[in-house]
Structure 1
Amino acid sequence: MRPDDEAGLLAMVIDAVKTGRPMAIHAGGSKAGFGRPVVAPAMLDLSGLAGIIDYQPEELMLTLRPGTPLAEVEALLAARGQMLAFEPPGLAALCGADDGAGATIGGTVAAGMAGPRRIRAGGARDHLLGFSAISGRAERFKAGAKVVKNVTGYDLPKLIAGSFGTLALMTELTLKVLPAPEDIVTLVVPAPADTAVTAMTRLQIGPLEPTGLAWLPAALAGDLTEAAEGVLLIRFEGPDGALADRIARAGDAGIGAAGTRVLAAGATRPLWRRIAEVAGILNPQAGEAVWRLSVPPASGARVLAAALACDDARGFIDWGGGLVWVALPEGTGGDGGAGHLRQAVAAQGGGHATLLRGSDILRRRVAVFEPEPPVLARLSERVRAGFDPHGLFNPGRMRASDIGADISAANGGQP
């Protein structure tokens, strides 16, 4: 089913309510491999709900339909010297999407995705001002507003971002945009992981305002360095004069070492795009799982070290130590490494281990998202039931309890 407008979508949801027919939600297809496999008798393709509704550059506000390709949005903003500040990645290559799959703005927000600039600008949920949607009750509703300052009512934009289409189907969304930086550079500093994470912490609480902080081991750094221990990457954005000053002050603060290099904009932009998209750094192969570990920033190096204790594992650190990416064989531990990685995260202050890439079999067998404590799981289920009481939207995408008998049977009777 492929509606071309909100009225057509509403008619399809009304029919689904009457027939009790669940639907797998699809748009660009870039993240079809992210989350548990959805088995449903119908596929709802939202790519027809595309196009810009209202763009006011002077007000830093953009209203558009959810099926609008992310690449189209970024090109529109770039032409006016603006950007989506949360630097959303497409992740098609990482999630094993089919050739030709492309991220849409609705799917990006629904997955709550953000790139390296999240440490300074926040995530997708912080830039979603408002939206219109249709619930699983076949009811139209709106939340938020087309203004930056809005404090009326429940903050549903924060709830819908990261819900993976399991609560409601957006038909329109309004995003805050920001001016693009005039210039951009990257400091490349040879350093082992633990030293790099300590430096990242100092930088984040200091006055230099980096917009990207990552660490790559030498095996994944390519020609960035010849150092055996790896490299700390520090991105600065702003006017030319300010960047030169920040580079000098970083050196004065002890952030630097012999062999430190400065990458200009031409090399910096593709480097951080590769970091955001992950696949360009980890180069995942068939038969490998890729995990995203969200941890306290000070724990990043220790969590990565524990993850690399697995055979043939490799990984890197982003978000100033708060995000660890790990690729390893799906056969690790009999569960794609889930048990080992979640134990490592718990031992270093807690956090979340999320499976971003894996076979359908693996994504049925393990919890793709971090398992919730029982009390929180019951609360989440009540929220979901409030929006979609019939379980029509993406059943089973986020947790096994949503999956119907057909999935259970396909998995040998296991949840």
Structure 2
Amino acid sequence: MDTEHGFYRQVDVEDHAHYIVAFFVLVIGTVGVTGNALVIYAFYCNKKLRTRPNFFIMSLAVSDFLMAITQSPIFFVNSLYKQWIFGETGCKMYAFCGALFGITSMINLLAISVDRYIVITRPLQAIQWTSKKRTCLVIALVWLYSLAWSLAPLLGWSSYIPEGLMTSCTWDYVTSTPANKSYTLMLCCFVFFIPLGIISYCYLCMFLAIRHASRDVEKFGSQVRKSTLIQQQSIRNEWKLAKIAFVVIIVFVLSWSPYACVTLIAWAGYASILNPYSKAVPAVIAKASAIYNPFIYAMIHSKYRDTLAENVPCLHFLAQVPSRDCITVSHSESSFTESGLSRQSSVSKTKFHRVSSMSTTDTHIWSDVELGPIDQSHCLKSSYSLGALRNKEYRSLAKQTTDKENQRQEQVR
């Protein structure tokens, strides 16, 4: 074996350890490639999925797909050979791809969290702040940010070397040099801890906003204000959103915190206590993050499931009873109510158009939320609830207008 001037270091571990790692890497690669490929295929087949919020999910699926397809096969082959067989250049390219796609996945999670935070907690401003053009710009910045951190070891700030059982590669967090220590610290802060804090803050604010909206509805009852009417659409998804937020944060922490802890232990000067197993296992767990996100962000989405059930023969079991789009139901109810109110008077019709315009805007705002990772199984139920609230307002408005007209007619007489 060509050691390439000391680049490759042999470790003394049992053969079965390599084979166990190979098995898990094979499972992770197969599930990661298949799951993310299905998400991309569903996005390609169904034009209705090509919405602004789903662009973030697609960026996440692409990064996870590339992560799985570039890491798992090489890791698997090296584990079978029980050593790194692709040379120093191959090690650097392997580690660069792992860093690029891994960091991109994590920053994509951050972008999704911030996007959901803006739309849910500031729905009126979200119309101005969010657009497809800005979304594409944010995604481009996510990839450029990740590329900068990935290129740094190739340009001299730290370096890429074999790690763990010497069957995979990553940046050099073991050698205690100023460049390695500074890169490790900055990477952990700006790619793990700070994004994790922002994600936690965003989901906490979303949950509190939805709970506040629920209390407003209970407090005002049928006397629904404009802001309460906007937030009503999210109330049916309160617990669903809370569960998704909890799963996202927990998976994020469980996937990368072991790796972060190992690197920080080495950064603190205790690299000697880390054995090959303690370095290899966190690396495998971190690479497994590519298999979770398709299920969290896409597979629980009804439109994705229906698209896959329709286009992939072996996935017909994912099909569910189709539900009507909540916006269509709401618009139908509004049209029916408008036709009834138009018979009342011209004054009533004018006031109705003002409320109807507001309702249409609110529905547009919340259609953006519904196309995100939240499951739409309760969409129809929510639209009926929202329509009922609107009908109460319209009937109350019509009754008040009719009473005023009757009083005017009596005064004239």
Q: Aligning the two structures, in what range does the TM-score lie when normalised by the shorter sequence?
A: under 0.3
Identify, as 1 or 2, the structure richer in strand. 1
- TM-score in terms of structure 1 length: 0.22
Higher helix proportion (structure 1 or 2): 2
TM-score by length of structure 2 reads 0.23
Q: Which has the larger radius of gyration?
A: 2
